[in-house]
Amino acid sequence: MSKQINVALIGNPNTGKTSVFNALTGLNQKVGNYPGITVEKKEGICKLPRGVKAHIIDLPGTYSLNASSLDENVVIELLLNKNDKDYPDVAVVVSDVENLKRNLLLFTQIKDLKIPTILVINMADRMEYKGISLNLDHLEEELKTKIALVSTRKNKGIDKLKELIATHKELSVEPCLDASSIDKAYFDNLRKAFPNQLLYKLWLVITQDVNFGKTDRTTFDKVEDFKTKSKADLKRLQQKETIKRYQFINETLKEGQSIDLKSAKDLRIKLDRILTHKVWGYLIFGIILLTIFQAIYDWSSIPMDFIDSSFASLSEWTKNTLPEGAFTNLLAEGIISGLGGIVIFIPQIAFLFLFISILEESGYMSRVVFLMDRIMRRFGLSGKSVVPLISGTACAIPAIMATRNIESWKERLITILVTPFTTCSARLPVYLIIIALVIPEGRVLGLSYQALTLMLLYLIGFGAAVGSAWILNKILKIKSKSFFVVEMPNYKLPLFKNVALTVLEKTKAFVFGAGKIILAISIVLWFLASYGPGDDFNNAENIVTEEYASESLSQIELEQKIASHKLEHSFIGIAGHAIEPAIRPLGYDWKIGIAIVSSFAAREVFVGTLATIYSVGSDEEETIKNRMAGEVNPILGGPLFNFASGISLLLFYAFAMQCMSTLAIVKKETNSWKWPMYQLVIMSAFAYLVALIAFQVLK
């Protein structure tokens, strides 16, 4: 049986590398991180002809092997380390038919590493539209490789690519050109000093300012001593190398590619004029956001109501069917209710990821980055900061990782510190349940009050991020200078497969990531709510029966009073009452206090916690929403979740740093506990103050 081969998928950003990866792997893929670093790692399995299996790694996008960011370092480190378990048997370089000249720079560099290399020319369906024709025989001869002309949109060329991967041993490993001629004497000396080493690999080690964490450096120990040239000299040689490569590429494309500009039909310039306009651009972006939030509410209401009632019925069925006892109560009141508090939000979270994925796939997100740079500059951020701030609407953790392509340390640090203000999908469950309880149903200009409230919370979060960035820019005394460069990819219709895989992958990660935490916390909370110390808990039945002896309560009412008394004197009730004086001025009771404290593990735990607490001892087949709506404020009377307490709670979660995972990633990215501790203290204090003012004014 054939052994599994390693395939590295490499290419410039926006060449459709992800589409090729999805076409090869389908659902056989997973997303993780490279060991020891927070750069995303995508890998999958592909079945090839002749019974061969390929392990495919989708490497981060890079323009060349001259790394300028941490994620580009990942590419170089893997290609230079033959001892790495993922070292490729074959490299697949993905290029875009419209930017072939620029994409081939990276291809010629990889060829110099003598790795069997296949060139994929993607987006072939656009050739006629753009007036492009290719002489593939000439290109294959000059580039000393095999070429797969691919259209992932029309699913063409993928079988040819699989065939080429399966027969990779037949590929030439001869370089396209002799790059060492840029300084023959220097490279000859280098070759003599290291006769057993690959020349281009040595050159990359000498010129890269890279920490090769996994690479075996013992063979390169003498390289440090061999740096006879200054940094400026090496930089000039790198520039010479790039010029030489482009000279070769230009010569190759003279005969290999022809472009008939007259037949190219391009709407891009006209669309860019509108979508990046200083007035219409912002207006269109605002309308798109409003439409997204309205759709999140309207489209997901039916599946959400179904999930809510299904979990309530399942909990009731479990209690009625299984034998009475602690295990049945744990299952019905702890596990099922806790998980119900997160599963209910799958439709809305899936829709949020769907819209973000469509914006990215269509090429519109790059226009938003360009558009927002005009605003960001005034607040000490760059246009590139918009990517983390927008991707922060999914989760702050990958958003903070995405700051790695910001060259200026000051801009990167500020972006890391303010990104948690952006409303992430973990806040969404909290917002949605509270908005449903305290914001009335109704519409203005076709938009519901609830959707407008949700959008306002997103804007408040974004405003807080930008405002705090302005303050940090004034306070932080870090000298740095940066230039804003963003690539504008072509507009294209999003591929259904790519969007579907993104939504599935991200929603699955959210549910399973949050699910583990919620399940564990639900079990702990159920135990703390179901047991308690002393006579007040153990003799609850006698105490309540005596207290209400004069009132003619029904059996159900009496059982509810007993359950309420037990909950109040349970371990969780005692802990809740201990923190109640601190949160009462905000309009919260001890139950909300417990939910706030437990949600520090993950914000979305808030709803699961309340679902667990309100389910303990409850025999009614009620949904979480109905139980929360029925809660009475013990001090003021009336509903606990009224307009004042609801707005206070929404604002608290809009500003509080309620996520230990985010704190951990900030520590890792800044290499210090100082910054996450500042975040925790300042954001929590600010959230408390704003929530306090809101409740006191509105009550």
Bind-site residues for GTP: 11-18, 36-40, 58-61, 122-125
Q: What is the C-alpha to C-alpha distance for residues 109 and 76, in angstroms, rounded to an integer?
A: 11
User: Which tokens is 16 given?
Assistant: 């459709």
What sign does the dihedral 376-381-382-387 (CA atoms) show? negative
Q: Under a CB-based contact definition with an 8 Å cutoff, are residues 352 and 330 in contact?
A: no
Which residue ranges make up the annotated binding site for Mg(2+)? Answer: 22-23, 25-26
Q: Under a CB-based contact definition with an 8 Å cutoff, are residues 386 and 369 in contact?
A: yes
Q: What is the C-alpha to C-alpha distance for residues 441 and 421, in angstroms, rounded to an integer?
A: 27
Contacts of 228 (CB under 8 A, 6+ apart): 186
CA dist 156 → 7, 47, 122, 153, 170 (Å): 20, 17, 10, 8, 23
User: Which tokens is 420 given?
Assistant: 């948690």
Nearest to 532 by CA among 616, 474, 452: 616
Q: What is the C-alpha to C-alpha distance for residues 430 and 82, in angstroms, rounded to an integer?
A: 48
State the CB neighbour count (10 A cutoff) for residue 216.
12
> What number of CA atoms fall less than 13 Å from residue 282's CA on the CB side?
6
Q: What is the C-alpha to C-alpha distance for residues 476 and 414, in angstroms, rounded to an integer?
A: 9
3-class SS string, 260-304: CHHHCCCCHHHHHHHHCCCCHHHHHHHHHHHHHHHHHHHHHHHHH
Dihedral of CA atoms 445, 450, 454, 459 in degrees, nearest 10, equals 40
Q: Under a CB-based contact definition with an 8 Å cutoff, are residues 407 and 68 in contact?
A: yes
Q: Which residue has the tokens 């979508």?
A: 275
Q: What is the C-alpha to C-alpha distance for residues 562 and 564, in angstroms, rounded to an integer?
A: 5
Contacts of 174 (CB under 8 A, 6+ apart): 111, 144
Residues in the chain: 699
Q: What is the C-alpha to C-alpha distance for residues 593 and 640, in angstroms, rounded to an integer?
A: 13
Nearest to 540 by CA among 576, 522, 567: 567
Which residue ranges make up the annotated binding site? Answer: 11-18, 22-23, 25-26, 36-40, 58-61, 122-125
Phi, psi of 535 (to 5 degrees): -70, -30
Q: What is the C-alpha to C-alpha distance for residues 652 and 628, in angstroms, rounded to an integer?
A: 18
State the CB neighbour count (10 A cutoff) for residue 487.
15
Q: What is the C-alpha to C-alpha distance for residues 118 and 146, in angstroms, rounded to an integer?
A: 6
Q: Under a CB-based contact definition with an 8 Å cutoff, are residues 618 and 566 in contact?
A: no
Q: At what angle do helices 280-321 and 364-376 cross, to 10 degrees?
A: 110
